[in-house]
Chains A and B, each alone.
Chain A
Amino acid sequence: MSHFRLFPDVILIEGSCKGALYFLTEGRVIQLGELESRIMSQLRIASIESACNDFDQIAVNKLIQSLVEDALGTIYSEDVYSESYIPNMPFELRGYLEPILIIEELSIELYPTDPYKIWTTNPKVVFQGCNSCIPTENPVKKDFLDTERLCSEIQSTAELEIKNATLHIGDLRNHENDIVSVIEILRKAHPEIDVGITTYPEEISDKTISLLKKIPNLQVTISFNAEVVEILSVLTQTCNSLSNAGIPVTLDAIFPHQDDVNRYSVVKDFATNFGYQLRTTEIIHSSTEYIYSIDRGKSRIEKTDSDAFYAKQRYSICQYGKLAINAYGEIGCCLFGKKTGSLERGIYDWLSNNEHRKGWESPKRCAGVCESCENRFACVDCALIEQISKTEPDFLKTICAYNPFSGIWEM
């Protein structure tokens, strides 16, 4: 009897219909066909000879031959045990031996406004809203958090390690001085921190630029409505002014999906021409109208090395390390997700009650349809969609065309 075993840096993940090989050392995810997947599952528990009995012998031998030729596995004459490479011991230190807490990204919403009338369209999800300055809820309330209160709370985090902070600002022009003082406090409490602001192009006047220019190492993200035809000329002007002032720019294209014309390529070309990094935010209204997200295809599957693979088993990649405070002083992992704390009770209270873990530790493998998908450790999304797709499985279709039950990309 002979047995096929994958090398320890190659891991078979089985989906409902098909499987994928995660080649950790090269970061590649190799999609298997349906038959190949069934053969691989069988080889896991039985000899090559028995797989040849159960499946077409030629197919079995061809598969094994190609896996060996690609140096993904090898053959043994005994039924040996094989294990996967793991970078760390398979458990986390908690409680007594809890390590220092690191906040990778602190997001703060300030003075929200809704110039693109997004909230009047009753959105179901603001998909990857964290890239934008879209209000986290309909900004009818005006009792915004006052900056003094915010600054004192930021001061109290001085001992925490916070790596980046982004201020998501709606009405920047009327609050420039407040914003500057928030940034100053952030830098004072965390001298190493990287700070960015995200705002609408309409908010950036010459006066604003001259003020922003005085803040060292500031990253500005312009969050614009990609479905407004004349937007590119406005953007060109704003980006040029910011660049001339030496302020680095990132773009966030908001797709309100008011019609079904896909303007992604236009925006993408614009960003590429100017050498700007482009992020997106999409407004998804319903799972039944199927206004599809701009990137539903195979490109969702990312390079996945061992660190990414194991991180995705344990954490929500988009929420991990995040702490967000909205304009009303509510605290959560993500500005658009559930808020379970408040500035009134304080950031420490929220953290020491382990509220952050609820968001950080909700990996994709636990999310509805994705649980049955072999790509679940290779594709990244907005956890909001994952949350909704637990209760409304159909919702996932809007952002991902893969049907793990049929193994088909239903574009």
Chain B
Amino acid sequence: MRPFVESFETRDKHKYIYDVETGTVVPDNDVLSLVIKKIGEDKKDPEISNELNRDFPKTIVEATLKFVRRWQAAYGGFLRNTSVLGHSHAVSEAAVYQEYDMGATYLMVLNLTENCNFRCKYCYLSEEYRFTRNRTESKMNFETAKEAIDRYFSYLERIKKKIPNKKAGITFYGGEPLLEFPLIKMIVNYCREKEPVPIVFNMTSNGYLLNDEISKFIVQNNIHLAISLDGSKANHDRNRVMPHGIGSFETVLKNIRKFMQAYPDYHDIGIISVFDVRTDLRENVRFFEENKLPRIFFISEVASSNTDYYDRFSREDFDKYNQTYEELLEEYIRAKQSGERISNYLEMFFEAPLSMTIIRLRAKDAKSKLVPYTNTCVPGMKISVRADGTYDICERINATFPVGDVEHGINTKAVCEVIDEYNKAVTKDCKNCTAVKNCPLCFAYTNGDRCFSIPDNFCKRWRKQQLMKLSAIYTILEKNSHAFDLLQNSLENSFAFNA
């Protein structure tokens, strides 16, 4: 038996133990960590008691010993037998079918066009990133979209017999999907006529082409719209530029405001905001406070795999960014501790990354046998359809892992190969990892040229970050035990269906 726990301290230097198996955080009065350590050294209870009774009250030692033993026996917590660890086996097509048969698929992403009217400097689908496709003139035709949808709907028709409340989604993606607005209209009308289960439409757009006609259509069809806006003019225009380098801020902001004016009660519109180390975070906090804008759906960092994007920044840029980050984090912690109102930007900036650690997987949460480690999706939960009708497992994965096409449907053999490759290359050491309950290393995060790999030093860094996150979370909870109650509700709602 070896300990399978991590230790961390809160800002007030209170000690805690994170039990990996159950995901439970237990305060440590030193006796707890020592008992776990000594059991891990294969010592028997009388021996442990004898050793600890010298420094701690006998009753506390006995109680802790009993607690650790029963916790281990009932929930497999604190310590585990290293010899029983399994290895991931090659997955079978039957296992993949079974997963789909349980209704795993819930989203189809239609990449309507590979073209875009912007030239954002961090664009994932550009020369900036290796192994991803770049901008092309290629676009989807209605026949391809229809074939993809027909297949998807016939699957949903079958699944709804097992899951009468099944809901599903279709996301319009690109390139810039609004370049293909007539196609969007045809698709939405077709779906509304044929949908076997309620379908939610989502669209991610740069907002430049959002006009009255499009806005009206979005509202009428309840399309969930995410518009990219990186914050203040300076922050936004530094990266989100049009051909010839002209910033897009003014037009995008004007369009969003116009939309809000026309449809003040429409709540399925939100902002996606991207940042890098030169983003002035404080300016963004101010910007979103001062401007009445739709709520922020999420804030994400410019991806760092398969790119030299970050080489453009200097040491000073990183230092300055890190300093502001730390200051803002302390501001966030203080505000959460006292239950004060927090700006939407600050909240999303810190709470979204913390949320996976707050709502972490627990001992009895079922994980797919196909991908038993990390928090990746199961390939096939989403089907991303390229403009030419080829299927990918995600719109964020590069073009080197196709898994079927509209003509033949999902190729489960190809899916198995993708999973096996991933499990071999990425998850080989996960079974011993203490961050396994909330690891974000998914297929898209790790894909290279027809292979997967863990970004340099990722695992060590991630485990360290987990402890930092736990420290921040419990520093908050020590002063305000209800600080994250709302998060729980909003996460539940985000999966639910509110068409």
Contact = CB atoms under 8 A, between A and B. Distances in A.
Interface of A: 5, 7-9, 25-26, 65, 68-83, 85-101, 158-161, 348, 351-352, 354
Contacts of A25: 70-71, 74-75
A82 B63 CA distance: 16
B495 A94 contact: yes
22 contacts: A8-B26, A9-B71, A71-B64, A74-B67, A75-B60, A77-B29, A78-B12, A81-B27, A81-B478, A83-B24, A85-B22, A86-B23, A87-B364, A88-B362, A91-B491, A94-B165, A96-B168, A96-B496, A98-B166, A100-B103, A160-B161, A160-B164
A78 B14 contact: yes
B162 A100 contact: yes
Most interface-central of B25, B63, B64, B168 (chain A CB within 10 A) = B63
B164 A5 contact: no
B497 A95 contact: yes
Contact of A351 (B67, B164, B167, B364): B164
List 10 A-B pairs, minimum CB-CB distance, nearest first: A95-B497, A159-B161, A80-B27, A71-B66, A351-B164, A91-B492, A352-B164, A87-B364, A94-B496, A71-B63
A281 B75 CA distance: 37
Interface of B: 12, 14, 16, 22-27, 29, 31-32, 59-60, 62-64, 66-67, 70-71, 74-75, 102-103, 106-107, 158, 160-169, 359-365, 474, 477-478, 481, 488-489, 491-492, 495-497
A71 B67 contact: yes
Contacts of B24: 8, 83, 85-86
A94 B491 CA distance: 11
Contacts of A26: 70
A72 B66 CA distance: 9
Nearest to A87: B364
B106 A96 contact: yes
Contact of B481 (A81, A95, A97, A161): A81
Nearest to A5: B27
B62 A71 contact: yes
A90 B169 CA distance: 24
B165 A74 contact: no
A72 B26 CA distance: 14
A90 B70 contact: no
A76 B32 CA distance: 11
A68 B63 contact: yes
A158 B158 CA distance: 12
Given A80-B478, A81-B478, A97-B495, 15 more contacts: A5-B27, A7-B26, A8-B24, A8-B26, A8-B71, A9-B70, A25-B70, A74-B64, A89-B360, A95-B497, A96-B496, A98-B103, A98-B163, A98-B167, A352-B160
Nearest to A348: B164
Contact of A95 (B162, B167, B491): B167
B62 to A, nearest CB: 7
Contact of A81 (B70, B163, B477): B477
B74 A99 contact: no
A257 B162 CA distance: 43
A75 B59 CA distance: 10
Contacts of A351: 164-165
A95 B478 CA distance: 34
Contact of B488 (A68, A83, A91): A91
